[in-house]
Chain A
Amino acid sequence: MASPLEQFTIKPWGPALEIAGYDVSFTNSAAAMVATLVVVTFFITFGMRKNALVPGRWQSGVEMCYEFIAKMLGDTAGPAGRKYFPFIFTLFMFVLAANLIGMIPWLHPFTFTSHIAVTFAMAFFVFVGVTIIGFATHGLKFFGFFVPDGAPWYLLLILVPIEVISYLSRPISLSVRLFANMVAGHTMLKVFGGFVVSLGALGGIFAASAFLPFAFIVALTGLELLVACLQAYVFAMLTCLYLNDALHMH
């Protein structure tokens, strides 16, 4: 019986590659990323192939995604955030497609968002990018972001370090949220799948009772689909909020 964590194992596909001493082998994780890229590109390209004034279902789906993110960005970061739209849209579609592709049963492809290295890399990129935008927009005044308005000086001694720590912990909370949700969901599915298999192997009344964990898997799959969409939304949403902080400070 394999461990429920075995699904997260990264296996190399093809030969080991190396650039500047770093291992850059193509793995099942990289394959899932390429699959995500293909799916998202296909979804948008074929959705918009007619460029119809009155959209069909597929085009409506693409436009819905677009307008959803555009509205979210507009509501949180205002018109100044508009030029970062392609990045937020890419981020959302990438994470959403990755999470959903990881949910395909039986085929059970690799879910690369269940790896902290990937989620942290994205979150750290967002963090660094947003901080650069903050300093580029406000200059050194951006340090004022860590000083809450109207607080007396003795409270600032406590509040400023808290603000700095909370700011610095953003990439961690952002990446761990997505990573932990994906790992927990997929592990749960695997655990209950294991129950079904081991109960079925026992035979008789035990095999019949395997119905229960199976029903649970069905329910859990529904929940995980929701989590897959929700986490993609949360990731994009928090990125928008951080962007808003950088653009408008409070």
Chain B
Amino acid sequence: MPQLDIALFAPQIFWLFVVFTILYIFMSRSAAPKIADVLKKRQDKIANDLNAAEKLQARAEEARLIYEKSQADARSNAAAVVLNKRDELKALAEAEYQKLSEALAANADEAQKGIDAAKNKALGEVRDVASEVCADIIAQISGLKLDSDTVSKIVSAKTDAATKGDS
């Protein structure tokens, strides 16, 4: 077995020492720091990106809250405006109604007066017509030519009594 030849130990161990030392120096001076650096950079980048994403998310959340708040404000403002306008319009409508109904009432009063006047006038004329008709009837029946004033006096007395009885 060549492994047990002690004479061959020295060259193997010597070259092992040389090669391993060179590799160790390469690893500790160049390779390991370089790899560690890349890994750390990546770690930092990922951490930074995550951090930035978190910040942006927080800002977005803030913006969302502001937006929601302004929307709610706008909504309540709109509701208030609508309510105000409605009250205003209601008041206006009531005022108009009031005015209109007053005007109508005034008109109605005037009309009533006109009617009353017309009625009185008509009643007065009815008296005249009645006395004439009465005089004609008396003349036809009795042949008496009565003075129209007398007839009208009698008729008006009768009608007054009748209207008094009526009312």
Given contacts A66-B32, A89-B27, contact A10 B12 (CB under 8 A): yes
CB < 8 Å A-B pair total: 122
The chain A residue with its CB closest to the CB of B46 is A53
The answer on a CB contact under 8 Å between A48 and B34 is: yes
The chain B residue with its CB closest to the CB of A112 is B12
The answer on a CB contact under 8 Å between B12 and A27 is: yes
Give a binary string over A11-35; 1 marks a CB under 8 Å from any B CB, 0 the rest: 0000000010011111101100110
B contact residues around A9 at 8 Å (CB): 2
The answer on a CB contact under 8 Å between B24 and A87 is: yes
Within 8 Å by CB of B12, from A29, A48, A52, A62, lies A29
The answer on a CB contact under 8 Å between A22 and B14 is: yes
Within 8 Å by CB of A51, from B7, B13, B20, B38, lies B38
Does A40 belong to the interface (CB within 8 Å)?
A: yes
B contact residues around A8 at 8 Å (CB): 1-3
Considering the chains assembled together, what is the distance between the CA atoms of A27 and B15 in angstroms?
9
Which residues of B approach A to under 8 Å, CB–CB?
A: 1-5, 7-17, 19-20, 22-24, 26-28, 30-32, 34-39, 41-42, 45
Which residues of A approach B to under 8 Å, CB–CB?
A: 5, 8-10, 19, 22-27, 29-30, 33-34, 36-37, 40-41, 44-45, 48, 51-53, 55, 59, 62-63, 66-67, 85-87, 89-90, 93-94, 112, 114-118, 121-122, 179, 183
**Which 8 pairs show the lowest CB-CB distances between chains A and B?**
A86-B28, A30-B15, A33-B19, A117-B9, A24-B14, A22-B10, A90-B27, A117-B12
